[in-house]
Amino acid sequence: MGYNTPIRIDRGVGLRDSQRPGSHFKQDLEGGRHGKILGNDSGRIRATFVERGGDCDFTAYNDVCYSSTSGHPALQPNVTTYNIGSGSPGPAGGLLLDKSTGTSTGVTVTLTQSGSVVWQPDPVTGAATAMRDRRTKCLRSATTASLMGTVYYGSTGWWVDVSFTGLNPAATYEFVTTANRNDATYTDRLTKYTISGADAYTNASSTGTTIGSGGVSTTLCTGYNTVNGYVARWTGINPGADGSFTVRAEAGSSQYKAYAFDAFKLVEVPPRLSGSPRWTQPKCSRPAPP
């Protein structure tokens, strides 16, 4: 069922007889969607569903460097492992899964690169980052995304893009990523992450990173990120009418040796309808119906 598609539902599934056309509801209906009442006739209620209810419509994780044969801890269910670089097993893209349910999000991620970057799953060359940024509750569990291994530099001018398509233009998104080579002598190896193709966004990266003008980019040390656990993060991402945006990783200084994406997280935040009740709940949890 597409967004803003009128359907008819029985009152017995949670809507009250008193709800009138023009009012809003937010119930565990049709997959937990919320929407706007269009009519209340013939014993049935006609409604437009806009988006699934809750503060997060889906949360998806992808571990770019995961290998089941390289000493990584087992991933939790529903974490995808799309990957890129010389030596990578593939595929370099596909549909993301909702971490909570395992269902397809309808969002496709595609990884592309230039400069012959290298996929390296060896835990010795990338350790689970501390993830001490209290504002970013993602990628921190070694069984959600292992954060072991890395995608490392190719030739001068290399880059890796993570592109999302099939996004809901009416929703906003959060994107978080990081990388770590785990070598205390590599503090000059910086990665610059840049967002493009979005109509709006807010840079909410870790304190201690370097934020570019307008929040378009975040630069952090990926040569040794083990202690800091810095992440590049954007919230309130508006994908625009075409439902897409891209984040690029590239060297963040004249030192071309740096690292791309170890893992990333994408969260969809549904639009809040005017007049719909706000529930009190932990951020990014999937709530029970009221």
Q: Which domains does the chain have, with CATH numbers?
A: 5-52 (2.40.10), 58-269 (no CATH)
Q: What are the Cα distances from residue 40, in Å, to 43, 51, 156?
A: 7, 20, 64
pLDDT on residue 288: 42
Instruction: Compute the half-sphere exposure of residue 15: CA atoms within 13 Å on the CB side of its CA.
Output: 29
Geometric angle at alpha carbon 218, from 216 and 220, rounded to 5°: 170
In contact, 284 and 59? CB cutoff 8 Å: yes
pLDDT digits (tens, 9 = 90+) for 182-197: 899 999 999 999 999 9
Region 205-217: mean pLDDT is 96
Structural tokens at position 246: 């891209």
pLDDT of residue 245: 98
pLDDT reading at 37 higher than 70: no
Specify the higher pLDDT residue, 278 or 203.
Answer: 203
What's the token pair of residue 11?
A: 């009152």
Side chain identity at residue 135, one-letter code: R
Q: Tell me: pLDDT of 165 over 60.
A: yes
Cβ density class 92-113: b for 16+ within 10 Å, e for less: ebbebbbbeeeeebebbbbbeb
User: Nearest 5°: phi and psi at 69?
Assistant: -110, 10
- Alpha-carbon distance 265 to 59, whole Å? 7
Q: Taking all residues of the chain, what is their mean pLDDT, rounded to a whole number?
A: 77
DSSP assignment letter at 91: -
Q: Where does the pLDDT of residue 139 fall: very low under 50, low under 70, confident under 90, or very high at 90 and above?
A: low
Q: Could you read off the pLDDT of 50-100 as tens digits, one per residue? A: 333 345 689 999 999 988 887 777 888 899 999 999 999 999 999 999 999
pLDDT at residue 17 in the model: 39
Per-residue pLDDT for 178 more than 50?
yes
